[in-house]
Chain A
Amino acid sequence: MIRINCPYCGEREHSEFTYGEDATRTTPDNDAPMEEWNKFVYERANPAGEHIEYWHHAFGCRAWLKVQRNTLTHDISWVGLPHENPEAAS
């Protein structure tokens, strides 16, 4: 069972949250070539291991959070606010 330790609300179960997406993707510039936009819209890193991603505490404080989760084990090793980064990734 995935539990996420919300910085505002404390540890809550996963049914209070909705999954957002990969938090490491950055939007290309408006005038970036179509190739870059194609990569941004369609291609996914889809790693097997640590993944940094957004979750929305939809049925709680409604804050967006950044979470580091292992895609092989469901273990969550870090939770922060969207502008923060886990040490290993920063």
Chain B
Amino acid sequence: MGQYNALNIAWNALRGHKHWQRAWRDPEPKSNYDVIIIGGGGHGLATAYYLAKNHGITNVAILEKGWIGGGNVGRNTTIVRSNYLLDGNAPFYEHGMNLWRDMAQDLNYNVMFSPRGVMNIAHSKSQYDTFARRANTMRLNGIQSELLSREEVLEREPIIDGSADTRFPVWGGILQPDAGNARHDAVAWGYARAADQLGVDIIQNCEVIDFIKQGERIIGVKTNRGDIHAEKVGMAVAGSSSRLAEKLGMRLPIESHVLQAFVTEPYKPLINGVVTFGAGHFYVSQSDKGGVVFGGDIDGYNTYAQRGNLPVFEDVIAGGLTMMPCLSRLKLLRNWGGVMDMSMDGSPIIDVGPIDGLYLNTGWCYGGFKATPASGYCFAHTIANDEAHELNKAYTLDRFAKGYTIDEKGMGPYPKAH
């Protein structure tokens, strides 16, 4: 299929762009693979890519019930960061940052990674103190962080309401300068194309209906396109994790919730980086096309409907307008919802088992996009070696029973953290 490069573009332009080949094949499923990955989202595609690239396992099928990039990987607010506090999380996400930096070269696909900085705003002295603790912890973990004064915050983002009589005046902020955004669709397409070039079969419109077991071991899956056997079956199905686990008689520490996101019509440059409001829940950035992309809280009740309700819509907009009043003049273009796999401690699960032949990747809450490369990297290692990588060894399924939860928010067993 060839490399994408400037010469290639020029050559195809001269030929009227009539000879581009499809970016990945559309193969019929074979009856047997070494590894099946259920779920053709960002994490599933990345896993297949790293299985082939890092572990030489190329006889791999990705089974996607819809189409590549149609789920959460195409529904998020595209934010990439690693500003975590706890030991189980910080090195994992920071490894992800390293993969993000080289991703476009590695995949030969422009994922438009843009490290424009992620800035969280503090609105009180005490909030600023907790930010200082976070900034210091991040530095100890080798993650870049800067504490910003009120003036520095307003200088970076002039449209923030800096007046003294606003409801939540700006006190200061914390910045991860090397965090930012990436083009979400391109990440899915880039991993798909790169995995396909290494021999991975991407099978779309292929829904897993049940598992095939031999004794206590999983040896394949039944799909709407026939039975497919494999030595190892990995699940990376995000919000549908409980539905698949139910077919195995398992209950997971997961609840599925809807998260809404919003985008305005394209405007001239207005917001320089990613900004989050500290007195509510609102995060915003501006896409390269000019659309102002933002989101807030999950709706708060378990659901599989990929659409939310108006009270959260109103709450998100209210938070945004308090921080950036000029947003009230923008016209909203679209609003949508995605189904999140909310874990009981706000951290993910990448683990072997608990059934032989099965590998779990779930519990990303609403932070799954930034984790795409690190998740694929670690899940591939876990599948290939039957044991966790150093970076995901804390993300076990049995950590809940053993009391080793990774509760970044310190809020207890409650499936509403992120």
Residues of chain A touching chain B, judged by Cβ–Cβ distance below 8 Å, are 1-2, 13-15, 18-19, 22, 34-35, 38-39, 41-48, 51, 53, 69, 71-74
Contact = CB atoms under 8 A, between A and B. Distances in A.
A45 B304 contact: no
A42 B253 contact: yes
A8 B243 CA distance: 35
Interface string B301-324: 111110001110010000000000
A48 B311 CA distance: 23
Given A42-B413, A44-B242, A53-B301, A1 B310 contact: yes
B158 interface: no
B144 to A, nearest CB: 34
Contact of B309 (A14, A46, A51): A14
B252 A71 contact: no
B16 to A, nearest CB: 47
Contacts of B253: 42-44
A14 B311 contact: yes
A39 to B, nearest CB: 7
B252 A72 contact: no
A74 to B, nearest CB: 6
A15 B311 contact: yes
Contact of A46 (B255, B314, B401): B255
B251 A43 contact: yes
Nearest to B256: A46
Given A15-B311, A44-B251, A48-B304, 9 more contacts: A18-B300, A34-B401, A41-B344, A42-B400, A44-B253, A44-B302, A45-B242, A46-B252, A74-B309
9 contacts: A1-B309, A42-B400, A43-B251, A45-B242, A46-B252, A69-B301, A71-B304, A72-B303, A73-B305
Interface of B: 242-243, 246, 251-256, 300-305, 309-311, 314, 344, 400-401, 413, 415
Contacts of B246: 47
Q: Name which of A2, A38, A46, A73 has the most chain B CB atoms within 10 A of its CB.
A: A46
Nearest to A72: B304
- For the complex of A and B, list the 4 residue pairs with the smallest distance between their C-beta atoms, beginning with the closest: A46-B242, A15-B311, A43-B251, A19-B301
Contacts of A74: 303, 305, 309
Contacts of A18: 300
Contacts of B252: 43-44, 46
A71 to B, nearest CB: 5
A46 B314 CA distance: 26
B400 A38 contact: yes
A51 B400 contact: no
Contact of A2 (B251, B309, B415): B309
Q: Name which of A18, A41, A44 has the most chain B CB atoms within 10 A of its CB.
A: A44
A59 to B, nearest CB: 11
Given A1-B310, A53-B301, A74-B309, A44 B254 contact: yes
B310 A46 contact: no
A9 B192 CA distance: 53
A74 B306 CA distance: 11
Contacts of A43: 251-253
Nearest to A34: B401
A69 B301 CA distance: 10
Contacts of B254: 44, 46
A71 B415 CA distance: 16
B251 A39 contact: yes
B305 A44 contact: no
A18 to B, nearest CB: 8
A14 B136 CA distance: 41
Given A42-B253, A42-B344, A71 B400 contact: no
A90 B13 CA distance: 68
A35 B251 CA distance: 13
B344 A72 contact: no
A70 B275 CA distance: 35
A74 B415 CA distance: 19
B311 A71 contact: no
B172 to A, nearest CB: 32
A39 B401 CA distance: 8
Nearest to A55: B301
Nearest to A37: B401
Contacts of A47: 242, 246
Contacts of A15: 310-311, 314
B247 to A, nearest CB: 12
